Amino acid sequence: AQTVTQSQPEMSVQEAETVTLSCTYDTSESDYYLFWYKQPPSRQMILVIRQEAYKQQNATENRFSVNFQKAAKSFSLKISDSQLGDAAMYFCAYGSGSARQLTFGSGTQLTVLP
Amino acid sequence: SQTIHQWPATLVQPVGSPLSLECTVEGTSNPNLYWYRQAAGRGLQLLFYSVGIGQISSEVPQNLSASRPQDRQFILSSKKLLLSDSGFYLCAWSDWGGGMNLYNEQFFGPGTRLTVL
Tell me A44's DSSP state.
-
The C-alpha atoms of residue A35 and residue A44 are separated, in whole angstroms, by: 16
Instruction: Give the domain ranges of chain B.
Output: 3-99+109-113
Task: With CA atoms as reference, report the closest residue to A45 among B116, B49, B89, B51.
Answer: B89
Looking at residue A99, its pLDDT comes to 66
Q: What is the mean pLDDT of chain B?
A: 89
pLDDT grade, residue B101 (50/70/90)? very low
Q: Which residue of B has its CA nearest to A89?
A: B41
Are A95 and B44 within 8 A, CB to CB? no
Per residue in B2-51, pLDDT tens?
A: 899 999 999 999 999 999 999 999 998 889 999 999 987 778 888 998 98
Is residue B111 within 8 Å of residue B35, measured between CB atoms?
no
Q: Tell me how far CA of residue A46 lies from CA of A28, A90, B10, B86, in angstroms.
A: 28, 9, 20, 23
Distance CA(B97)–CA(A37), nearest Å, equals 22
Tell me the percentage of chain B whose pLDDT exceeds 70: 91
Beta-bridged to residue B116, according to DSSP, are: B13
Rg (CA), chain A: 14
Question: Which of B106, B107, B112 best tests the A interface by mutation, with the highest count of A CBs <10 A?
Answer: B106
Domains of chain A: 3-107 (2.60.40.10)
Give me the CATH topology for the region B3-99+109-113: Immunoglobulin-like (2.60.40)
- Whether residue B44 lies within 8 A of chain A, CB to CB, comes out as yes
8 A C-beta contact, residue B5 and residue A44:
no
More confident position, B105 or A38? A38
B101 vs A14 pLDDT, higher one: A14
pLDDT tens readout for residues A40-80: 988 899 999 999 888 889 999 999 999 999 999 999 999 99
How many angstroms separate the CA atoms of A69 and A34, rounded? 12
B19 and B13 Cβ atoms separated by less than 8 Å:
yes
